[in-house]
Structure 1
Amino acid sequence: MGTPAHQPPPEPVATLLLIRHGLTELTGSTLAGRRPGLHLDDRGRGQADALARRLAAVPLTALVASPLERCQETAQALAGAAEGREITTDHRFSECDYGDWTGRTLADLAAEPLWRVVQTHPSAAVFPGGEGLAAMAQRAVAAVRDWNDRLTGAHPAPVYAVVSHGDVIKAVVADALGLHLDQFQRIQADPCSLTAIRYTRTRPFVVRLNDTGGAVADLVPSPADASGDAAVGGGAGGAAARP
Structure 2
Amino acid sequence: MARTPSTAAATLLLVRHGLTAATGQTLAGWTPGVHLDERGRAQAAALGARLASVRLDAIVTSPLERCVETAQLIADAAAQAPPLTVDKRFGECRYGEWTGRRLDELAEDPLWPVVQAHPSAARFPGGESLAETAHRAVSAVRDHNARLLADHDTPVYLVCSHGDVIKAIVADALGLHLDQFQRIQVDPCSLSAVRYTALRPFLLRVNDLGGTTAGLRPADAASGDAVVGGGAGEG
Q: Which interval holds the TM-score relative to the shorter structure?
A: over 0.9
Name the aligned partner's letter for residue 9 of structure 1.
Answer: R
Structure 2 unaligned blocks of 5 or more = none
Structure-1 residue corresponding to 2:61: 65
Q: Does 1:119 align with 2:113?
A: no
Structure-1 residue corresponding to 2:191: 194
Structure 1 unaligned blocks of 5 or more = 1-6
Structure-2 residue corresponding to 1:206: 203
Q: Distance in 1 between matches of 2:157 and 2:2?
A: 25
SS of 1:168's equivalent in the other structure is helix
Structure-1 residue corresponding to 2:9: 13
Q: Distance in 2 between matches of 1:71 and 1:154?
A: 26
Q: CA deviation at 1:85?
A: 2.5
Name the aligned partner's letter for residue 212 of structure 1.
Answer: L
**Of 174-183 and 81-90, the range deviating more from structure 2:** 81-90
Structure-2 residue corresponding to 1:55: 51
SS of 1:59's equivalent in the other structure is coil
Structure-2 residue corresponding to 1:157: 154
2:127 to 120, 127, 130: 130
1:1-243 correspondence to structure 2 within 5 Å: 9-10=3-4, 11-82=7-78, 83-223=80-220, 226-239=222-235
Q: Distance in 2 between matches of 1:197 and 1:165?
A: 16
TM score, norm. by length of structure 2: 0.97
Name the aligned partner's letter for residue 218 of structure 1.
Answer: G
Question: Which one has a bigger Cα radius of gyration?
Answer: 1
User: How large is the Cα RMSD of the aligned pairs?
Assistant: 1.0
Q: How many residues align?
A: 232
Q: Distance in 2 between matches of 1:73 and 1:120?
A: 33
TM score, norm. by length of structure 1: 0.94
Q: Distance in 1 between matches of 2:81 and 2:11?
A: 19
1:133-186 CA-to-partner distances (Å, cap 9, x unmatched) read 000000000000000000001001000000000000000000000000000000
Structure 1 pair 8/84, CA: closer, same or farther in 2 (3 Å)? closer
Q: Distance in 1 between matches of 2:126 and 2:51?
A: 38
Q: Distance in 1 between matches of 2:156 and 2:2?
A: 22
Q: CA deviation at 1:223?
A: 2.4
Identity %: 66
Q: Distance in 2 between matches of 1:56 and 1:9?
A: 26
SS of 1:218's equivalent in the other structure is coil
Name the aligned partner's letter for residue 58 of structure 1.
Answer: V
Name the aligned partner's letter for residue 26 of structure 2.
Answer: T
* Structure 1 residue ranges (4+ consecutive) displaced by more than 3 angstroms after TM superposition: none
